[in-house]
Amino acid sequence: MTPKQQHAFDKSAFKISMVQHLTQLGHAPDTAQLRDWYLALGRALAEHTTSDLVATEHDQAIKQAKSVNYLSLEFLIGRLTGNNLISMGLYDAIADAVSELGLGLTDLLEQERDPSLGNGGLGRLAACFMDSLAAQQYPAVGYGLHYEYGLFRQSFHEGAQQEAPDAWREPEGYPWELVRPELSQIIGFYGHVEVVEEAGHTYRQWVPSLKIQAMPWDLPIVGYQSNTVYPLRLWEGRALTPFALDAFNAGDYTHAQQADIDAGNLTKVLYPNDNHDAGKTLRLMQQYFHSAASVADILRRHLEAGHALAALPEYETIQLNDTHPTIAIPELMRVLLDDYRLGWDEAWSIASRTFAYTNHTLLPEALETWSEALIARLLPRHMEIIFEINHRFMQEVEAKWPDDVAKKQVLSVIDDKGERMVRMANLCVVGSYAVNGVAALHSQLVKRDLFPEFDALYPGRIQNVTNGITPRRWLKFCNPDLSNLISEKIGEQWPAQLEQLEQIAQYADDTAFQKIFMDVKKRNKQRLAGWVKEHLDITLNTDAIFDVQIKRLHEYKRQHLNLLHVISLYQRLLNEPDFDMAPRVVFFAAKAAPGYELAKSIIYAINKVAETINNDPRVGDKLKVVFIPDYRVSMAEIIIPAADVSEQISMAGKEASGTGNMKMALNGALTIGTMDGANVEIREEVGDDNIYIFGLDVDGVSELRQKGYQPEAVYHSQPLLKAALDSLLDETFTPGQPGALRPVFDSVMGSGDPYLCLADFADYVRAHNDIDRDYRDASQWARKAILNTALVGKFSSDRSIRDYVNNIWQLEAIKR
C-alpha cells in the first residue's frame, strides 16, 4: 500500500464485517455460495464509500466552490467492485483478506452483473468522465436515470440476435447503491397553464395533471487514491403513494392522463438506440423527468449552501450530454420565472450562463426533434417558454442579418416545414454558453457542416474537447500484467499522469522488453481464447493476429466492410494455391438496436460466415471468425487487452470520436482505421508508421459524391470484391437457404452503398496486407505495439476533463 493510502485497512475487522453482511443476507459461511460472498463483499466495502460520500457531500469547501453537474440519460459504468477496490487502493489487501476466507477475489468479482445503463460510447464516456472528475477532485454530481432494466442482453438463435431483459439488480438488489428518500422530488406532466394576478403583476403557473415521484439512488464514484466520493444520482420513477398524493392534490390523480404511461413504467427500461432518435412519447417523459428532478436537486444544493439565485452560474454549471436533457433549459427558465418570479431577462441571463452542451453526432437521424403538439400536450408551459426563447432569438438573428429569411429558417428552434417540430440541438446552442464536439475533426465539422450560421453568430461558442478514457479501468484494472510491467519501468504514477507512458517509448527497440511486452499480450490472448473455448467451444490459435471490431452495430461503422474482407481472405485461402497469410482470428462483438433491421441482418451474416469458415477443414487454424455475444463493459475488459489489431473503419465524417480506438491503442493494439473521429489524433500521436490508415477522407468522400458514385462499377471492376459479394447471394454461407444474406448485399448494391464500403474496399484490403506483412516481423510488430501504448497518454479522460475545466467550466479542484 502506498503512503497515499487513505483507508487504513484492518484485515481481521474487514473479514468480520464480511461475515456479518453475509449473515444479514441470511447465509452461513460454510454453506454460502460465491454470489452471497460477492454481495457481502460489496456491502462491506460500500460502508466505507457511503461514509466518504456523505463526508464529501457535507464538505464546506466543496459547498463554497463551483461544481459541474453532468446530465446524461446514460451512464455505462460497468461493474463497480473491482474498480472501486483499485480506487480505494485496497485491491491487493482485499484479495489477501478474502483468500483467508477461502475465496478468490477474481471469482467474487465475476459474480457482479454489469450495470448496463447505457448504449455505447456516449454512456461509457459519461462513466469515464465521472471517474476522472473524482480522481482529480473537481466537484461534480452525475445525474442519470435508475432504469429497472439496462440495455437488453443479447444471445443468438441460429445466428439471429435475440433480446432478453437485463434485470441488473435482481434478485437481491445492487450492493453499491444507496436510496436517498429525503432527496426525492415530485415531477409533473400534462395539465394546463393558469394566469395568476398578484400585486399588479401577472404570472403564469403550470398545473400538471399527472405527478410522479422521483426517487434518487446514489452510486459512489470513488476518486483514485483519494477519499473524495461523488454521487452518481439516478432517478427512479415511482407512483405517488396515497399519503403523498394527499399532500400533492389527490383530486387530480383520477383525472391524470394515464394514456401514455403508468408512473411505475417511467424508468422501467433504457431505450436501446445508439445514434438514432425514435421519437417515442415515453422517452420524452423520461427526458423531462430526468431534467426536472436534476434541476430541482441542483437548485436545492445551491440554495441550501446559502447562495443567491442570481449567483447560480458562479456555483453550478450544467453539462448536457447530447440533446437528451435539453428540456432542462426551459425547465430552469420555468422555475425561475414562475416559481421564483424573476423577470425574463434575469432568468435568461442565469440559465444561458449555466448550461453547456456536448454534441456527439452529425448523423441526421440522430438529431432529436420533438413535435410541438406533443410538447404542448405533455409540457404546456415549456412549449410557451420555448416559443418565447425562439421569438427573442429570431429578433437577434434579424438584427444580425436583416430580412434574411433563409438564415432564420435554418437557425430557428422551430422547424416549420411540415409538422412543426422543436429542434433540440438548436435550443441547446441558443441556451448554452459553450458547445463542444468530441474530437478535433468532429468539432470542425460541427462548425462547418452542422452549425455554420451559429458559428458565425456566436464566434468562439463552438469548441472542441477531444474524448478520453479512464486509464484506471482501461489499463490498470483490465490489464494487470501490462500495468505491472509499466510500473516496473516508470513507477506507479502513470494511472494519474498518463502522459508519463511516453517514457516507455525508450524501450520500443529493446528486444528483451519487446519479448516481455509481447508475452503479456500473449497471456491476455490466452485468457480470451480460454473464454471463447469455454463459452463458444471454438479453439483458437493464440499465435494468430487477434483482429478486433467491438462497438455497436451500425451501418456507418461498416462491420460489413470487415466481413467482406474476411470473406475475401477465405476465398483466397481456398482458391489461390500460392496465397499465404499469418493466421488470423477476426473478433466481432456488437449489439443491434432491436428495431434496426439491417444491423440485425449484418449480425446474422457475420454469424453465418463464421459458422462456415470455422467448420471448413480446408481452412485449418489460418482463419477463424468469432462473434462474442452480449458485448458489455465486462466483456470489453477481457477482449481489449488481447487485441493485436483495432478496427476503426467508419466512413470518414461519420464517427464523431470513437473511444474503443483509444482503449485498444492504450493496450498495445495497432489501429486499422479511416481518417475519422479521434483516429486522426491517434495518428498524430503514434505516428504514421504505427497505424494503418486507409480509405477516403472527408474531402475524398465529398469529391466522390460530387462526381457521382456507382457501387456497381466498383463491383464489376474488382474480382476479389465481386466474388465476396456474390457469395452472399448463393448458398456458400447459408446451405439450403440461398438469398438469406441478400439484405447485406443489397445494402451496398441496390441501396447505393450509402457508407461507401465498396469505394474503400480495395484500400482496406491493402492496409490489411500491410498488417499481415508487418505482423510476421515479430520485432517490428512489438515495436509498433509498444509505441502505441507509450504514445496515447493524451487520451486519458483526465486530460479531457481538464480541457472542460479550463476552457468551459472554469472551476477549481478541491483536495480533501
Interaction site with ligand Z2T (CB under 6 A): 119-122, 125, 274-275, 322, 360-361, 366, 438, 467, 655-659, 677
Which of these, 4, 128, 33, 22, lies nearest to 75 by C-alpha position?
128
> Rounded to the nearest whole angstrom, what is the least distance from the CB of residue 760 to ligand Z2T in the complex?
18
Question: Which residues have CB under 8 Å from 119's CB, separation 6+?
Answer: 74, 76, 151, 270, 272, 273, 274, 552
CA gap 110, 657 in Å, rounded: 30
Query: Based on CB atoms, which residue is closest to ligand Z2T, 218 or 798?
Result: 798
Residue nearest to ligand Z2T (CB): 121
> Rounded to the nearest whole angstrom, what is the least distance from the CB of residue 598 to ligand Z2T in the complex?
17
Query: Based on CB atoms, which residue is closest to ligand Z2T, 358 or 727?
Result: 358
Question: Which residues have CB under 8 Å from 429's CB, separation 6+?
Answer: 357, 435, 451, 454, 458, 461, 462
SS3 content of the chain, % helix, strand, coil (to 5): 50, 15, 35
> Do 464 and 437 contact (CB within 8 A), yes or no?
yes
> Rounded to the nearest whole angstrom, what is the least distance from the CB of residue 483 to ligand Z2T in the complex?
24
Instruction: Say if strands 462-464 and 369-371 run parallel, antiparallel, or are unpaired.
Output: unpaired
Q: Exposure of 254 by Cβ count < 10 A (0-12 exposed, 13-18 middle, 19+ buried)?
A: exposed
Q: Say whether 794 is catalytic.
A: no
> Rounded to the nearest whole angstrom, what is the least distance from the CB of residue 84 to ligand Z2T in the complex?
24
Q: Name the catalytic one among 79, 301, 552, 554.
A: 552
Q: Say whether 552 is catalytic.
A: yes
> Rounded to the nearest whole angstrom, what is the least distance from the CB of residue 363 to ligand Z2T in the complex?
7
CA gap 102, 66 in Å, rounded: 47
Instruction: Say how many CA atoms lie within 13 Å of 171 toward its Cβ.
Output: 3
> Rounded to the nearest whole angstrom, what is the least distance from the CB of residue 256 to ligand Z2T in the complex?
31
> Do 562 and 759 contact (CB within 8 A), yes or no?
no
> Rounded to the nearest whole angstrom, what is the least distance from the CB of residue 467 to ligand Z2T in the complex?
5
Q: Name the catalytic one among 360, 381, 407, 442.
A: 360
Single-letter residue type at 533:
K
> Do 554 and 602 contact (CB within 8 A), yes or no?
no
Query: Based on CB atoms, which residue is closest to ligand Z2T, 208 or 471?
Result: 471
Helix/strand/coil (H/E/C) assignment for every residue in 468-487: CECHHHHHHHCCHHHHHHHH
Instruction: Locate 500 and state its grid cell.
Output: 508519463
Q: Say whether 4 is catalytic.
A: no
> Rounded to the nearest whole angstrom, what is the least distance from the CB of residue 124 to ligand Z2T in the complex?
7
Which of these, 518, 542, 520, lies nearest to 531 by C-alpha position?
542
CA gap 690, 251 in Å, rounded: 68
CA gap 426, 429 in Å, rounded: 5
- H helices present in 555-658, as ranges: 559-575, 597-614, 633-639
Query: Based on CB atoms, which residue is closest to ligand Z2T, 483 or 659?
Result: 659
Q: Say whether 554 is catalytic.
A: no
> Rounded to the nearest whole angstrom, what is the least distance from the CB of residue 106 to ligand Z2T in the complex?
29
Q: Name the catalytic one among 233, 551, 654, 783.
A: 551
Q: Exposure of 248 by Cβ count < 10 A (0-12 exposed, 13-18 middle, 19+ buried)?
A: middle
Q: What are phi and psi of 604, to 5 degrees?
A: -60, -45
Between vectors from CA 654 to CA 768 and to CA 709, what angle results, nearest 5°?
A: 75
Query: Based on CB atoms, which residue is closest to ligand Z2T, 439 or 501?
Result: 439
Q: Say whether 283 is catalytic.
A: no
> Rounded to the nearest whole angstrom, what is the least distance from the CB of residue 656 to ligand Z2T in the complex?
4
Question: Which residues have CB under 8 Å from 713's CB, separation 6+?
Answer: none
> Rounded to the nearest whole angstrom, what is the least distance from the CB of residue 75 to ligand Z2T in the complex?
12
Helix (H, G, I), strand (E, B) or coil at 210: strand
Burial call 303-325: b when 16+ CB within 10 Å, e when fewer: eeeebeeeebbebbbbbbbbbbb
Query: Based on CB atoms, which residue is closest to ligand Z2T, 322 or 555?
Result: 322
Query: Based on CB atoms, which residue is closest to ligand Z2T, 677 or 711?
Result: 677
> Rounded to the nearest whole angstrom, what is the least distance from the CB of residue 236 to ligand Z2T in the complex?
21
- H helices present in 494-629, as ranges: 511-536, 559-575, 597-614
Residues in the chain: 816
Q: What are phi and psi of 763, to 5 degrees?
A: -70, -30
What Rg value do the Cα atoms of the chain yield, rounded?
A: 27
Instruction: Say if strands 178-179 and 369-371 run parallel, antiparallel, or are unpaired.
Output: unpaired
Query: Based on CB atoms, which residue is closest to ligand Z2T, 361 or 524?
Result: 361
Q: Name the catalytic one among 323, 354, 659, 674.
A: 659
Categorise residue 279: left if φ over 0, alpha if ψ from -120 to 50, beta otherwise: left
CB atoms within 10 A of CB 100: 10
C-alpha to C-alpha distances, 573 to 394, 562, 623, nearest whole angstrom: 63, 17, 9
Query: Based on CB atoms, which residue is closest to ligand Z2T, 180 or 683?
Result: 683
Q: What are phi and psi of 153, to 5 degrees?
A: -85, 140
> Do 401 and 407 contact (CB within 8 A), yes or no?
yes
Query: Based on CB atoms, which residue is closest to ligand Z2T, 630 or 655?
Result: 655
Which of these, 635, 634, 681, lies nearest to 655 by C-alpha position?
681
Query: Based on CB atoms, which residue is closest to ligand Z2T, 52 or 322?
Result: 322
> Rounded to the nearest whole angstrom, what is the least distance from the CB of residue 323 to ligand Z2T in the complex?
7
Q: Say whether 551 is catalytic.
A: yes
Catalytic residue set? 360, 551-552, 557, 659, 663
